[in-house]
């Protein structure tokens, strides 16, 4: 890959290019083992439909999820039993729970990230906050800043309801901020909970069971900045080029609506196929913008948001990737489920853990990818600076 070889010689980041300086994560206390999920879910929702139970059992096996964390608990259902009842207006109760939960998790993930970063919290100049699990005014960005004790002049940006692409979208925005504000340090925080869309099983909404089998809760955080201070900061990834692309006339493929019963999501079956049909052109566009002409995909590393096993399988097949190329994404899916915008943080952490298993011929360049409502593709060409 001649274009990449020209860029390989330097381990340090380019002056001015944004870098990820630290990663952090946090989770609610409730850990769910996938093998126990079906019985617990049907018990908590007072449903005894054997056909729906069998369908969810099959889905739990095909998602490849083994464990995940959730805010929902028996204590919450005892306090708000109406959440498990079909047709009741419960959006107020859901938002009361979600608004508090996502703030708590975002603060915890941010502290974890800041501690790894090694600089004082007062050095944070900007906040980018991402969530599809809350709705309030002022937004979660303010409550995060308040909870961390950030300076009142800290500049804040909020990204709401970007779904699974929100984490990479937030990273793209943080990159732009860091590169256009010399000396800035941007805290990117993502936080999600499925309580906003928790519903009892229904034969009228079979697609709801996919979410029950797949999605998890949690929070993620990153510190992004240019020109890292070598004596203090340890850059992990350089963010070289970021692009976004939406596919016209696909806005109904991932459809979410805020109703009196919370958020209702519907994912169409053709989503994995649509991603497969468009992923190669998107990746080629991202790579070519950077001046790289060759397409030796297996020399790159791949940090892909694991929307589900079908999406990963289709991407792997289309780009003819070796199985190990998506191992970090598959590990994140197995351990945490699809945690929406947070999941890319977990993938990047696993990517750093797996650097020791890289082959000599592999490049330290790779792609960060996510797919969300729109259908929207987010992509960043990045370099692993820890290799």
C-alpha 274/C-alpha 251 separation (Å) is 12
Pair of tokens at residue 229 = 């201070």
Which candidate in 60, 113, 164, 283 is catalytic?
164
Among 144, 60, 63, which residue's Cα sits nearest to residue 102? 144
The neighbouring-strand residues paired with 242 are 380
The neighbouring-strand residues paired with 245 are 377
* Rg from Cα positions in the chain: 20
Other beta carbons less than 10 A from residue 305's beta carbon: 30
Longest alpha-carbon distance in the chain: 62
Residue pair 21/117 in contact by the 8 Å Cβ criterion = yes
**Three-class SS of 25-42:** EECCCEEEEHHHHHHHHH
What sign has the CA pseudo-torsion 352, 355, 185, 369? negative
Residue pair 212/120 in contact by the 8 Å Cβ criterion = no
Q: For this structure, is 113 an active site residue?
A: no
CA geometry: angle 261, 144, 104, nearest 5 deg = 60
Pair of tokens at residue 163 = 């779904």
- Reduced to 3 states (helix: H, G, I; strand: E, B; else coil), residue 257 is strand
Question: Token pair 């083992």 is at which residue?
Answer: 33
| Per-residue exposure over 72-94, b if at least 16 CB sit within 10 Å of its own CB, e if not | beeebeeebeebbeeeeebbebb
C-alpha 162/C-alpha 378 separation (Å) is 11
Among 148, 158, 219, 161, which residue's Cα sits nearest to residue 190? 219
What residues are annotated to the active site?
164
């Amino acid at each position: 890959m001649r274009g990449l070889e020209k860029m390989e010689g330097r381990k340090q980041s380019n002056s001015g290019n944004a870098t990820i300086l630290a990663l952090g994560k946090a989770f609610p206390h409730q850990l769910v083992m996938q093998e126990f999920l079906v019985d617990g879910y049907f018990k908590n929702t007072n449903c005894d439909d054997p056909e729906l139970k069998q369908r969810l059992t099959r889905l739990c096996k095909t998602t490849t999820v083994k464990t995940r964390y959730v805010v929902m608990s028996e204590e919450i259902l005892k306090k708000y039993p109406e959440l498990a009842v079909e047709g009741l207006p419960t959006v107020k109760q859901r938002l009361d729970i979600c608004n508090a939960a996502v703030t708590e998790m975002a603060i915890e993930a941010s502290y974890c990230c800041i501690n790894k970063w090694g600089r004082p919290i007062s050095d944070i100049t900007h906040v980018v906050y991402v969530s599809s699990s809350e709705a309030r005014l002022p937004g979660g960005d303010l409550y995060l800043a308040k909870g961390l004790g950030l300076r009142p002049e800290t500049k804040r940006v909020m990204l709401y309801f970007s779904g699974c692409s929100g984490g990479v979208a937030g990273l793209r925005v943080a990159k732009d901020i860091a590169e256009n504000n010399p000396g800035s340090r941007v805290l990117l925080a993502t936080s999600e909970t499925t309580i906003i869309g928790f519903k009892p099983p229904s034969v009228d909404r079979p697609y709801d069971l996919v979410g029950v089998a797949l999605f998890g809760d949690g929070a993620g955080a990153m510190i992004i900045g240019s020109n890292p201070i070598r004596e203090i900061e340890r850059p992990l990834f350089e963010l070289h080029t970021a692009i976004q692309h939406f596919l016209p006339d696909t806005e109904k493929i991932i459809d979410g609506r805020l109703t009196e019963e919370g958020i209702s999501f519907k994912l169409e079956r053709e989503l994995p196929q649509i991603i497969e049909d468009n992923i190669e052109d998107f990746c080629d566009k991202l790579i070519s913008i950077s001046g790289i002409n060759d397409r030796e995909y297996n020399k790159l590393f791949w940090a892909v948001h694991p929307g589900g096993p079908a999406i990963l399988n289709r991407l792997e097949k289309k780009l003819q990737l070796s199985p190990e190329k998506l191992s970090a994404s598959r590990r994140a899916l197995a351990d945490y489920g699809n945690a929406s915008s947070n999941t890319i943080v977990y993938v990047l952490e696993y990517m750093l853990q797996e650097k020791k298993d890289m082959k000599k011929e592999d490049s330290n360049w790779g792609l960060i990818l996510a797919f969300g409502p729109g259908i929207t593709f987010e992509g960043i060409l990045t370099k692993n600076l820890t290799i």
